[in-house]
Structure 1
Amino acid sequence: MHATHKDFIKGARVAALLAVMLAAAGCQTRGDFRPLSSEGVPPPRLVEVPRPCTAAEAARPRTADTRCE
């Protein structure tokens, strides 16, 4: 059995229809990330790392409001 002209036309129509459907679906999708639920994981936060004491700070008497670790 060999392919006829009608088979090629039918295949071309199917390919064109599939291309149009994929193009329409591509236009409908969003590029930004959307979480799947309302309980998304919060973004990480930066924390302050305590700095080490210098010799001058360690020699001073400590009070309640000074921080040196």
Structure 2
Amino acid sequence: MHFTGKSLSKEHIELAGIDLPHISDCLLKEIRSEIRAKLKRASITNEEDFQEIVTATVAEIMPLWVYED
């Protein structure tokens, strides 16, 4: 199976450490957009690598949002 942006679910984002009910739609949209952009540049064929990209992307974006407040 080839993982793409369409493979991204809320569960993948929650596994990356995001508590979905407590983040804004704007932040969620930014996270999803960045993950999709990274997946377009990569050829991911297993769920472990897919989740690793999701987790790394969340780790990159979240500190930026925390300090913007």
Normalised by the size of structure 1, how large is the TM-score? 0.29
More helix per residue:
2
Q: Give the structure, 1 or 2, with the largest relative contact order (CA under 8 Å, sep 6 or more).
A: 2
Structure of larger gyration radius: 1
**Normalising by structure 2, what TM-score?**
0.29
